[in-house]
Structure 1
Amino acid sequence: MTIRTGTAGWVFEPWRGTFYPDGLVQKRELAYSSSRLGTIEINATFRANQKPASFAKWAAETRDGFVFAVKGPQLVTHIRRLKNCRPELANFLASGPLALGPKLGPFVWQLPPNLALDLGVLEDFLALLPRTPDEYLALAATADERLKTPPFLDATGVGPIRHAIEARHPSWDDPAARDLLAQHNTALVISDTVQQPARVLTADFAYCRLQGPARPDAAGYTPDDIADWASQIRDWDAAGHDVFALFVHEDKLHAPANAIALRQALGISLPGD
């Protein structure tokens, strides 16, 4: 199957001179990142809808075979809290993610830490999410006047639409929630934290936003941690699961190095090697 390691975002000043070579101009940072990483999570979409031209530009700057994950908007996750959010979801989908074409990967829905599990709300939200380009286009076509650009409704090159949900309230540690996610082939994000150490798969792919490691005394990922994750990912791969493993938030300075170390431990080579 396909294994991708990467980071959340690509613009981070402390990476200049550490991950990014000295003298690399900022407008080339995304291209450089794609030569070393398999995926990057676009986080700008959380705060506001982006423009089709921005998605198309990002796709053009990255190598063939690279894939973006796209973070869902706070209007859906934090303001609507997954309820009665069809218009906001339609506007987001119409704002341009399809312009990534074959480089469109999973959508990631990060929930607020105080959002407790409500199985009814979850079921309604999962039923609303599109799973195919045709379903995507049908929902995006209902975008309303709040969308600041014409709806982008060209799904050329786009494959199956995948979704992952990052639940951060402890009530989500519930077999009923996992069963419901599995019914809709939606990945429960694996966080690798002390509070959420579980490595449970609920979809045909794993989506890891690695923020640990999951032990109280950890100051960052060690070579042994990387080896452990490589072993876990090999098991998932052997079982037929695609894997997205991104290093995010905590210890952001070393996120690219961790992603590269994990990729290399898995024996995956990229043009930048």
Structure 2
Amino acid sequence: MTKAGPIRVGIGGWTYEPWRGTFYPEGLAKARELEYAASRLTAIEVNSTFYSRQSPATFAKWRKAAPDGFAYALKAGRACTQRRDLSQSGESVARFLEQGIVELEDRLGPILWQLPHTKKFEAEQIGAFLSLLPSAQDGVPLRHAIEPRHESFDDPAFFELARKAGVAVVFADSPRYPCFEEQTGAFTYARLQDTREDAATGYDDAALDAWADKARGWAADGREVFVFLIAGAKARNPAAAEALIPRLE
């Protein structure tokens, strides 16, 4: 029997004022928010890497703040993905990967390549873009996930390109964008984007139970699973993650 893969659950970023006094204890120094979040969750999707470069020292600091088994998923820089012709992203991709992400060492999780919602599927261009994503950086293995947000990507040709490249297609539960169920990589990357303000834990118990079942199904064949509570009622996302984690144990 195949042993189930690990399931990591987290949120997007760790700095958000409404989380102070709800997720973070009153009086906790802002400098300790990451350490606290990493002690309560098992992954974090880093958003700041989408907007600006970080230093190797910053990645090393993030590594030290997290316990063994924790993973940081990194949102790739917008210079890589927010362009008309993705096949011309080679230099930007290289700059992103060379900024010092390897300092995360074993805390380095997948890299998320999120496309604009206006980006339509063009097989030649997307295939060329996927070929720009290397399997390693400075000897450190890399894993890649792509999140298209246009319905034209619901195409067997796209899934086959991703599968050949070993890139996971993101499962995005969103009220705004299409959701792709196809599993194309060696791991699963899910972004749950529909938490509600009127539920203390973002999703009600039945929905959380259903998401736990879904995650266990993905992990059943031994694949590693990453589940992030993103967007929606953002103030509820840490509570949703903390409610989901024990359901997976």
What is the TM-score with the length of structure 2 in the denominator?
0.92
Structure 1 residue 176 corresponds to structure 2 residue 180? no
Structure 1 residue 253 corresponds to structure 2 residue 212? no
Unpaired stretches in structure 1, ≥5 consecutive residues = 138-154, 268-273
Q: Matches of 1:59 and 1:97 in 2, distance apart? A: 10
Q: 2:38 aligns with which of 34, 37, 53?
A: 34
Q: Matches of 2:120 and 2:180 in 1, distance apart? A: 18
Q: State the number of aligned residues.
A: 241
Q: 2:181 aligns with which of 199, 203, 209?
A: 199
Unpaired stretches in structure 2, ≥5 consecutive residues = none
Q: Matches of 1:81 and 1:71 in 2, distance apart? A: 19
Q: 1:78 is matched with which residue?
A: 82
2:39/2:67 contact within 8 Å kept = yes
Name segments (4+ residues, structure 1) moved above 6 Å: none
Change beyond 3 A, Cα 1:197–1:128: closer
Q: CA deviation at 1:80?
A: 5.5
Q: 1:51 is matched with which residue?
A: 55
Q: CA RMSD in A?
A: 1.7
Deviations 1:36-71 (A, max 9, x none): 111101111111111111111111111122110011
Q: 2:100 is matched with which residue?
A: 96
Q: 1:162 is matched with which residue?
A: 143
Q: Secondary structure at the match of 2:14?
A: coil
The share of aligned pairs that are identical, in percent, is: 43
Q: CA deviation at 1:161?
A: 1.0
Q: 1:152 is matched with which residue?
A: none
What is the TM-score with the length of structure 1 in the denominator?
0.84
Q: CA deviation at 1:196?
A: 2.2
Q: Secondary structure at the match of 2:160?
A: helix
Q: CA deviation at 1:200?
A: 2.4
1:204/1:240 contact within 8 Å kept = no
Q: Matches of 1:198 and 1:89 in 2, distance apart? A: 24
Q: Matches of 2:22 and 2:216 in 1, distance apart? A: 29
Letter in 2 for 1:181: A
Structure 1 residue 65 corresponds to structure 2 residue 69? yes
1:191/1:212 contact within 8 Å kept = no
